[in-house]
A and B are shown apart, each in its own frame.
Chain A
Amino acid sequence: EPEVTQTPSHQVTQMGQEVILRCVPISNHLYFYWYRQILGQKVEFLVSFYNNEISEKSEIFDDQFSVERPDGSNFTLKIRSTKLEDSAMYFCASSESASDQPQHFGDGTRLSIL
């Protein structure tokens, strides 16, 4: 069964550094998403992306964050000037359509900011 893959599985970074989290969505999917799950808390929506542009974003997704589809397969989340509170699991998801098809998730990247 096709799946969403994320790399790396664990990223350790010094505070203030930039990180790029990578995702390969399911190949025929057109909508891509990033979510965050801080340890012990809910999964939180960050951003959705379609047709090479952001379609929705949450209040969490501020100027520190950016997303990009650099080629035909990858979807990336960049976090600039990382802070301790950015430590979390980051999940990528994809779906065939925006509403009437469900989102499928990768296994996440655990980001640890030191």
Chain B
Amino acid sequence: QKEVEQDPGPLSVPEGAIVSLNCTYSNSAFQYFMWYRQYSRKGPELLMYTYSSGNKEDGRFTAQVDKSSKYISLFIRDSQPSDSATYLCAMSAGNNDMRFGAGTRLTVKP
């Protein structure tokens, strides 16, 4: 089983839709969970950062972590064409070694 699994998509939604992005993982030592957004030819841009289980909301973005199921999610409400990008989940055990998912390519159509 891969350490971090993420469906690469592509995912295409109409403008205004709610987007759900997910990752599963196998390493129970992971405690810190991140979502990054990556535009073409750019570096990963931090969107959400959570510690342990629970929900975190920031504007149109909500991150959820379920450590019991080893499952994390990112929800985007009222999606916009400018949200079109690749979304990367990432996680670490707090030891500097951050592991990334493969990234999900999202397109929001006007």
Asked if B94 and A42 make an inter-chain contact with CB atoms under 8 angstroms apart, the answer reads: no
- Which residues does chain A contribute within 8 Å of B41, judged by CB atoms? 107, 110
Decide yes or no whether A82 CB sits under 8 A from chain B: no
**Given A91-B44, A104-B46, A105-B44, A31 contacting B34 (CB threshold 8 A):** no
Shortest Cβ gap from A45 to chain B (Å): 5
CB atoms of A48 and B103 under 8 A apart: no
**For chain A residues 78-114, which have a beta carbon within 8 Å of chain B?**
91, 98-100, 102-108, 110
Question: Which A residues are in CB contact (< 8 Å) with B88?
Answer: 43
Interface flag for A64 (CB, 8 Å): no
Q: Is the CB of A42 within 8 A of B96?
A: no
Q: Are the CB atoms of A107 and B42 closer together than 8 Å?
A: yes
B98 within 8 A of A: yes
- Report the separation of the CA atoms of residues A48 and B93 in the bound assembly, to the nearest whole angstrom: 14
Is A18 in the interface zone, CB < 8 Å from B?
Answer: no
List of A residues within 8 angstroms of B32 by Cβ: 99-100, 102
Interface size bucket, B side? 20 to 34
Q: Which of B28-43 contact A (CB under 8 A)?
A: 31-32, 34, 36, 41-43
Q: Report yes or no: A42 in contact with B51, Cβ–Cβ below 8 A.
A: no
Instruction: Please give the distance in Å from A48's CB to the nearest CB on chain B.
Output: 4
Q: Does B67 contact A (CB under 8 A)?
A: no
- A58's contact among B44, B46, B97, by CB below 8 Å, is which? B97
A99 adjacent to B44 (CB under 8 Å): no
Complex CA–CA separation, A102 to B103 (angstroms): 18
- Against A, the Cβ 8 Å flags (1 = close, 0 = not) of B6-46 are 00000000000000000000000001101010000111111
A99-B32, A99-B92, A102-B49 known; A108+B43 contact, CB < 8 A: yes
Please list 29 pairs of residues, one from A and one from B, whose beta carbons are closer than 8 Å in the complex, sorted by A's number: A6-B43, A31-B96, A33-B98, A43-B88, A43-B90, A43-B100, A45-B96, A45-B97, A48-B97, A55-B96, A56-B95, A56-B97, A98-B94, A98-B95, A99-B31, A99-B32, A99-B92, A102-B34, A102-B49, A103-B34, A103-B46, A103-B98, A105-B43, A105-B44, A105-B45, A106-B43, A107-B42, A107-B43, A108-B43
